[in-house]
């Protein structure tokens, strides 16, 4: 991972998004599926992201001024 990208992997069998990498890049959240090479924008306006983690269907994005909980099951 380089300094301009923050990411985490979805574990297969752990709810929504298993096997996908979730990436924050250029203030946008993407889901990337390595098998197909597909990259989908999920959310824009993610400012000053510090970290991202995933548990079940919830992505937690910690930013300097807020914490964003993104529910993948709502897609």
Tens-place pLDDT, residues 24-52: 999 999 999 988 999 999 999 999 999 99
Looking at residue 2, what is its pLDDT? 45
Q: Whole-angstrom Cα distance, residue 15 to residue 28?
A: 22
Report domain extents, the chain. 5-74
DSSP for residue 74:
G
Instruction: Tell me how far apart the alpha carbons of residues 73 and 8 are, in angstroms, rounded to a whole number.
Output: 17
pTM of the complete model: 0.88
Q: What is the pLDDT of residue 1?
A: 37
User: Is 80 exceeded by the pLDDT of residue 5?
Assistant: no
Domain 5-74 has CATH 2.40.10: yes
pLDDT in the model for residue 17: 87
């Amino acid at each position: 991972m380089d300094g301009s990208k923050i990411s985490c992997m979805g574990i297969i069998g752990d709810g929504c998004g298993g096997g996908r990498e979730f990436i924050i890049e250029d203030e946008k959240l993407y889901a990337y599926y390595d098998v197909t090479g597909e990259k989908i924008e999920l959310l824009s306006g993610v400012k000053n992201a510090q970290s991202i983690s995933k548990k079940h269907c919830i992505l937690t994005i910690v930013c300097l001024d807020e914490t964003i909980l993104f529910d993948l099951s709502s897609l």
